[in-house]
């Protein structure tokens, strides 16, 4: 059991690293050091940053034991910098009218147990666009990336990897929940990585969480999905 847990933690850490480009395609991905500016190069009003802060999972939304470890804004240039084709990705971001992205990371000093499942770090992101059409185009691109990713390769060295899309009806204007992990028998503890992507009006949100446990972990992921969907709606009203 202990050996499998150690392998699960190592596999999930590798997966988080490998998913950096998907995170960039979703919302975040930048270093966030320079002051945020609009697509025209002018400084963004603080209201945009405040709005984005309200669109991600808040400390009260996440599991007890997790605390805010990092937060960062990302301009289009910063988000595109980690892509295989930075100039091409920057052109996409600009064509979608992406204004700014924001990302928070929640961590714990040790894995957080709930029932028979242990949870690892939670990353929540948000981005805002000039119009809903651009936000929808960005969402579609991220979904296409997720669906065409070779997940057994992403899980470096892992065997018996499978992935599935879990329905999220009526949660937002557009939603996708992708669960990637080990194959296992009902009730067996396996490691999983959940990615939830949402689009509400001109805004997008997403979160990622790793776990080692049983199917009950889906209940926690659904709770987090509903929490971020509520944050998106509230911030964009």
- Delimit the domains of the chain by residue range: 2-236
Nearest to 221 by CA among 182, 180, 188, 162: 180
Contact call for residues 174 and 28 (beta carbons, < 8 A): no
Return the top range by mean pLDDT from 15-19, 34-38, 45-49, 207-211.
207-211
Supply 60's token pair: 């009260």
Which pLDDT score, from 0 to 100, does residue 82 have? Answer: 84
Q: Does position 157 have pLDDT exceeding 60, yes or no? A: no
Provide the mean pLDDT of the chain. Answer: 84
Q: Does position 46 have pLDDT exceeding 70, yes or no? A: yes
Which pLDDT score, from 0 to 100, does residue 22 have? Answer: 53
Rounded to whole angstroms, the Cα distance separating 51 from 76 reads 17
Confidence grade of residue 154 (pLDDT, cut at 50, 70, 90): confident
Contact call for residues 36 and 73 (beta carbons, < 8 A): yes
Contact call for residues 210 and 11 (beta carbons, < 8 A): no
User: What does DSSP assign to residue 214?
Assistant: -
Q: Does position 197 have pLDDT exceeding 50, yes or no? A: yes
Q: Does position 25 have pLDDT exceeding 70, yes or no? A: no
Percentage of the chain exceeding pLDDT 90: 57
Which pLDDT score, from 0 to 100, does residue 60 have? Answer: 97
Contact call for residues 63 and 119 (beta carbons, < 8 A): yes
Lowest mean pLDDT among 43-52, 88-97, 123-132, 143-152: 43-52
Q: Helices 46-55 and 217-236: crossing angle, nearest 10°?
A: 150
Contact call for residues 201 and 135 (beta carbons, < 8 A): yes
Is 83 or 4 the better-scoring residue by pLDDT? 83
Which pLDDT score, from 0 to 100, does residue 149 have? Answer: 87
User: What average pLDDT does the segment 148-163 reach?
Assistant: 76
User: What average pLDDT does the segment 190-219 reach?
Assistant: 92
Which pLDDT score, from 0 to 100, does residue 224 have? Answer: 97
Nearest to 125 by CA among 186, 220, 56: 56
The DSSP secondary structure of 168-211, one letter per residue, reads -TTSSSEEEEEEEEE---TT--EEEEEEEEEEETTEEEEEEEEE
User: What does DSSP assign to residue 135?
Assistant: H
Return the top range by mean pLDDT from 30-34, 77-81, 223-227.
223-227
CA 189-194-200 angle, 5° bins: 150
Which pLDDT score, from 0 to 100, does residue 185 have? Answer: 80
Nearest to 71 by CA among 126, 151, 25: 126
Q: Where are the beta strands (DSSP E) in the chain?
A: 67-74, 98-107, 112-114, 117-129, 161-166, 174-182, 190-200, 203-213
Cβ contacts of 206 within 8 Å, gap of 6 or more = 23, 26, 27, 124, 125, 126, 142, 195, 196, 197, 198, 228
Rounded to whole angstroms, the Cα distance separating 38 from 49 reads 11
Lowest mean pLDDT among 24-38, 39-53, 153-167: 24-38
Cβ contacts of 127 within 8 Å, gap of 6 or more = 26, 27, 28, 52, 98, 99, 100, 101, 102, 135, 138, 203, 204, 205
Lowest mean pLDDT among 39-43, 133-137, 140-144: 39-43
Q: Does position 26 have pLDDT exceeding 50, yes or no? A: yes
Assess if CATH 1.20.144 describes domain 2-236. no
């Amino acid at each position: 059991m202990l050996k499998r847990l150690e392998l699960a933690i190592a596999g999930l850490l590798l997966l988080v690293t490998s998913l950096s480009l998907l995170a960039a395609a979703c919302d975040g991905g930048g270093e966030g050091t320079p002051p945020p500016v609009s697509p025209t190069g002018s400084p963004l009003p603080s209201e945009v940053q405040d709005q984005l802060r309200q669109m991600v999972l808040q400390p009260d939304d996440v599991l007890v034991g997790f605390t805010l470890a990092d937060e960062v804004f990302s301009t289009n240039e910063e988000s595109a910098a980690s892509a295989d084709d930075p100039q091409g990705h920057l052109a996409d971001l600009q064509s979608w009218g992406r204004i700014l992205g924001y990302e928070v990371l929640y961590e714990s000093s040790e894995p957080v147990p709930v029932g028979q499942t242990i949870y690892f770090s939670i990353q929540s992101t948000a981005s805002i666009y000039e119009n809903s059409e651009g936000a929808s185009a960005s969402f579609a691109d991220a979904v296409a990336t997720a669906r065409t990713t070779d997940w057994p390769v992403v899980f470096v060295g892992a065997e018996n990897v499978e992935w599935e899309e879990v329905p999220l009806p009526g949660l937002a204007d557009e939603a996708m929940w992708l669960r990637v992990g080990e194959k296992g028998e009902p009730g067996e503890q396996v490691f999983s990585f959940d990615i939830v992507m949402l689009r509400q009006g001109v805004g997008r949100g997403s979160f990622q969480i790793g776990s080692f446990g049983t199917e009950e972990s889906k209940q926690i992921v659904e709770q987090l999905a509903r929490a971020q969907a509520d944050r998106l709606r509230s911030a964009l009203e």
